[in-house]
Chain A
Amino acid sequence: MYNFDFVKPSTVEEAVAALADDEAQPLSGGQTLIPTMKQRLNAPETLVSLLGIEALKGVTVGGDRVTIGAATTHATVAREVAEAYPALAALAGNIGDPAVRNRGTIGGSLANNDPAACYPAAALASGATVVTNRREIPADEYFEGMFATALEEGEIITRVTFPIPEAAAYVKFEQPASRFALAGVFVAKFAGGVRVAITGASEEGVFRWSEAEEALSGNFSAGAVSALSLDADGMMADLHGSAEYRAHLAKVLTGRAVTAAG
């Protein structure tokens, strides 16, 4: 790993100022960034740790929504959201392994937007709002493809607000070595309709499966999606699974998620 300067500000303003330097990057839990830096795929000159900023941590449950600070770990979300939004807590409690969950953060996961990460599926299916130091970004406008988001240079996520659905579930099929989702489906049923977000499968990263959403909004049962088929065009293909395999897997998991949501 190439060396860098380490700074740890205690406010969002100080962090934003430190990130004004072109060669500076934010560091949250580091569970993706540090392995990437070891491989020299990333070599920032300055790392700006966000974990010293207390204002970015914590969970607030209020009425019909849950708000999670960007620097809140997966372990904290798994524990503190369990009552208000069990499907989201279950998702957080199954990311990586216990050590990863004690370091990795929701803001880090959403800013990185790994095409096989779990949180993007929850944010998109819930219709969450990503709040930054500059603005509020609806999930539908936030994800812009593999490792790409609407975030601009020097913009950092401060918190994420999730509307709580009437029913929801996340089901993933793990690649056993990496524990990332080979495909993962988050289904969320709201009064106004059902949202379905799929991660792990597409070359474009997380996406909504609108055909399934329509079918499920009329009939919220696994049977409603069994006759549908997801186009294999644009799905990822590698030694773990072909594009056709991933498309089929995503469909099967959608049915299982609906059943799990009840």
Chain B
Amino acid sequence: MKVTMHVNGRQVSGEAEGRTLLSAFLREELGLTGTHIGCDTSQCGACTVHVDGKQVKSCTMFAAEAEGAEVTTIEGMANADGSLSAIQQAFQDYHGLQCGFCTPGMVMAAAALLEEIPQPTEAQIRHHLDGNICRCTGYHNIVKAIQAASGQPVAVAAE
């Protein structure tokens, strides 16, 4: 079937089977490989994108379900002039990544959080990252990056 949606502000169409996951559609049909597939079992959050403004796991939604929807991926997060967005820049500044595999999902999760709670507490940030797994950083620097991106002083309690 033909599926049409708006991805990063642009109308796109592509072929999908019923079983085609949104993650596969974005990567294979549209070539947007910034959305990563870590576990493909709904655990890791590397495939996190926004559908109609809501943070979802694109590996746990069919492409056909996004028909007509507004989808935002990591490719749509930079500023219009190509510079990094505040969240992306904060991840760089605070070393919120090492291997970088989880980073697209982390940035999308962070953006959804700051949309809902512009100045989250550390506990709110950690609670919100429940569905995003990072095996490198131990999360501390990711939490710091999100605090910085929200314009708050960076302070993370040692655990």
Q: A179 near B130 (CB under 8 angstroms)?
A: yes
| Shortest distance between the CB of A125 and any CB in chain B (Å) | 24
Answer whether A35 and B42 are a contact pair too, CB < 8 Å, given A3-B17, A98-B128. yes
Closest chain-B Cβ to A53's Cβ sits at a distance in Å of 13
Q: Does A147 contact B (CB under 8 A)?
A: no
A60 lies within 8 A of chain B by Cβ: no
Number of interface residues of A (CB under 8 A): 26
User: Contact at B19–A35, with CB atoms within 8 Å?
Assistant: no
Instruction: List chain B residues, Cβ under 8 A from A179.
Output: 130
Assuming A2-B19, A6-B18, A102-B55, is B61 touching A97 (CB within 8 A)? no
Interface check A99, CB cutoff 8 A: yes
Question: Known interface pairs A38-B40, A97-B45. Does A103 touch B19 (Cβ–Cβ under 8 Å)?
Answer: no
Indicate if the CB atoms of A98 and B55 lie closer than 8 Å.
yes
Q: Are B130 and A103 in contact (CB under 8 A)?
A: no
Any chain A CB within 8 A of the CB of B33?
Answer: no
Instruction: Give the complex CA separation of A99 and B46 in angstroms.
Output: 11
Closest B residue to A49 by beta carbon equals B65
Give every chain A residue within 8 A of B71 (Cβ-Cβ).
none
Report the separation of the CA atoms of residues A4 and B20 in the bound assembly, to the nearest whole angstrom.
Answer: 10
Do B128 and A34 touch across chains, with their CB atoms under 8 A apart? no
Interface residues of B in 78-112 (CB under 8 A from A): 109, 112
- Which B residues between 30 and 69 are near A, CB-CB below 8 angstroms? 40-43, 45, 48, 54-57, 60-62, 64-65, 67
Q: How far is the CA of A256 from the CA of B17 in the complex (A)?
A: 48
1/0 per residue, CB under 8 A from B, across A186-207: the answer is: 0000000000000000000000
Q: Which residues of A are at the interface with B, using a C-beta cutoff of 8 A?
A: 1-6, 8, 30-31, 34-35, 37-38, 47, 49, 51, 75, 96-100, 102-103, 177, 179
Q: Residues of B at under 8 Å CB distance from A?
A: 1, 17-19, 21, 40-43, 45, 48, 54-57, 60-62, 64-65, 67, 109, 112-113, 128, 130-132
